Structures are given as structure tokens and as C-alpha cells.
Amino acid sequence: MPLLTIVPVYAAALALMYVALSAVVIRTRRHAGVALGFGSDETLQRRIRMHENFAEYVPLTLLLLALAELGGATPVSLHILGVTLIAGRLLHAWGISQAAGHLRVAGMAATLTALSLTALLLLVR
């Protein structure tokens, strides 16, 4: 049975990003004095959505990447997709913290590109 060697590196990096995003939300909750929900704090609402959005897209994309690696996808394609996912998540996190949000859109585009291309890679194999 083939072992995963590439995707675990991206999974670990993304797990650390998730912990960092969690810490940002916790710190913002403490500062705002809001234990549940976001109250009327727009900054807290943005940070919660940043964290939730990460949790919504990353697990499925990592699962698909792992299946692609197990299915024999080339290392180059896995690295391109993994880097695209990480870049997308970084851009989204930075962009959602900004009022204009242009980087948020770019981050979502990169994330959806990684998700879609990985799904297509699995379908054409």
C-alpha cells in the first residue's frame, strides 16, 4: 500500500494555520468580552468567518489531495495544488481582515481552484 508523503506536509502546515486562526478568534473574543456569537463586534464577526471558512474548505480539499496522492498523482501536481491551497487560505485570512476584501476574493478563488482541480484530477484518472 502506498504511503502518503507529500500531502501530510501540507496538512501539517494547514493545521498550524488553523491553530493560529483559532488563537486570533479567542484573543478577539476576550478583547471584545463576547463568549458566544459575535455580539455587535464587526472585527470579531470577520475573524470568526475567517476561521469557519477555513474549516469549511480545507478538510475536503486535503481529503481529495490525499486520495490523489494515493491514486498516483504526480508530485509536481500535488505540490502545485497544495501551495495553491495554502496561498488561498493565507490570502483569504488577510483579505477578510481588511474592509475592502479584495484579497479575500483572490483567496477564495485560489482555494476553489485547488478544490476543483483536485476533484477533476481524481475524475480523469
Is residue 77 in some structural domain? yes
Average pLDDT over residues 36-43: 86
Domain count, the chain: 1
pLDDT value of position 1: 58
pLDDT value of position 100: 67
Is residue 14 in some structural domain? yes
Specify the CATH number for the domain of residue 43: 1.20.120.550
CB 50 within 8 A of CB 103: no
Select from 28, 32, 31, 62 the least CA-distant residue to 48: 28
Q: Which domain holds residue 30?
A: 7-124
Is residue 2 in some structural domain? no
Residue 118 in this model has a pLDDT that exceeds 90: yes
Q: How far is CA 15 from the centre of its chain?
A: 9
Q: Of the given ranges (55-69, 76-90, 94-108), which has the lowest mean pLDDT?
A: 94-108
Measured CA distances, 111 to 34, 49, 114 (Å) = 30, 15, 5
Is residue 1 in some structural domain? no
CB 106 within 8 A of CB 47: no
| Grid cell locating 53 | 471558512
Is residue 112 in some structural domain? yes
Tell me the torsion sign for CA atoms 87, 76, 6, 68: positive
CB 49 within 8 A of CB 92: no
| pLDDT band (50, 70, 90) for residue 39 | confident
Q: Can you give the pTM of this predicted structure?
A: 0.92
Is residue 55 in some structural domain? yes
Is residue 98 in some structural domain? yes
Is residue 84 in some structural domain? yes
Q: Which residues of 29-55 are buried (b: 16+ CB within 10 A; e: fewer)?
A: beebebeeebeebeebbbbbbbbebbe
